Amino acid sequence: MKDDQALHVHERLATRPELRPVAFGEGRRFGLWDLASLAEGALGECVDPDSLTVTSEKRWRLRLGAAGREHSYDDEFRRRYWICAPEDRRGLGPVGTIAVDTWPVGAGALGVSSLYVHPVARRQGIASAALDTVYEACRAAGLYGFRLETYWTWQRTVRYYLRRGLWVTSWKHALGLGRLSYLPRYEVRENEEGEVTFLVADAEGRLVPFLVAGSEDGRLRLRETEEYRCGADRRDSVRLYARSTLALHLALLGRPLVRGEEERAKAHWSCDVGEPEGLAYKIGIFERVARDGGWRVESPYAGLPVA
């Protein structure tokens, strides 16, 4: 299965100097880089993917359980790329990986996966540049942008994506985030009283308050602004994803996500995306599943009940 718009995206990506399609015979090496990414995220241990032997690979896969199983990727459904070193460092080989689907997910977006940068090449904006390249290629092909998934327990990764301004679009199986052209720029600001405001860019590019969150007696207090209530020109998705995106920001701060017993009882209604109580419910599941799988669990709630 292929989609014409997706194919146009890959035609553009294949010509970019910072990306190189994975060639025949390189699939195993790409898989080892995927394994190193998983080991770092799930277990918190940094691994040099090119130093992995058959024995050490097997050991890592056993430690990672089902998540570490080796997969034979079908390039009919996604295409894999090496992220190349910046121009002034050519010749050092790939410094990262990224894969992009060949069929849209959701409404006019491509899925991104396997985003990883080797530890020696980090803090140079390489991953951000790769995501920008994919987004620009999607927009040039008439798509809205891209979506990706990560795990709640991979706290550093989650914080990275939110710093990049990605919106939270799902928490069904993992945390789903996206950069989509119909979702405007946003900022999250905290004042001295601890109130957190979610601001969204209006048609003129000005940031206006959309949602305001505080806490009282261990409960969340969430207030909708006039802009949120009366923005008739805005898509419903902006309102929905604003609530879910603010909820994840609050979770990373370790703030309460439950407003009251009535909202708590309805948490399962938002188990895919939506209200902060739904995220609280799913965080409990995400952390339990991670512990059962032997993964390291990083959480701002430090083992305390979230929901």
Q: 150, 174, 201: which is the final residue of a domain?
A: 150
What's the whole-model pTM score?
Answer: 0.93
Under a CB-based contact definition with an 8 Å cutoff, are residues 61 and 35 in contact? yes
**C-alpha 222, offset from chain centre:** 24
Instruction: Kindly state whether residues 138 and 228 are assigned to the same domain.
Output: no
In a domain, 48, yes or no: yes
**C-alpha 29, offset from chain centre:** 24
Give the count of domains, the chain: 2
Determine what percent of the chain falls in helix, strand and coil, rounding each to the nearest 5: 40, 25, 35
Instruction: Kindly state whether residues 27 and 106 are assigned to the same domain.
Output: yes
Instruction: Kindly state whether residues 137 and 206 are assigned to the same domain.
Output: no
**Residue 88: what pLDDT?**
47
In a domain, 158, yes or no: no
Task: Compute the distance between CA of residue 300 and CA of residue 280 in angstroms, rounded to an integer.
Answer: 12
96-142: pLDDT as tens digits: 999 999 998 877 999 999 999 999 999 999 999 999 999 999 999 99
Instruction: Please give the average per-residue pLDDT across 70-85, as a whole number.
Output: 82
Q: 150, 172, 204: which is the final residue of a domain?
A: 150
Instruction: Kindly state whether residues 251 and 132 are assigned to the same domain.
Output: no
CATH code for the domain of 140: 3.40.630.30
Helix (H, G, I), strand (E, B) or coil at 105: strand
| Residue 62 DSSP code | H
12-58: pLDDT as tens digits: 999 999 999 999 999 999 999 999 999 999 999 999 999 999 999 99
* Domain assignment of residue 285, given as a range: 186-292
Instruction: Kindly state whether residues 230 and 106 are assigned to the same domain.
Output: no
164-221: pLDDT as tens digits: 999 999 999 999 999 999 999 999 999 999 999 999 998 899 999 999 999 999 999 9
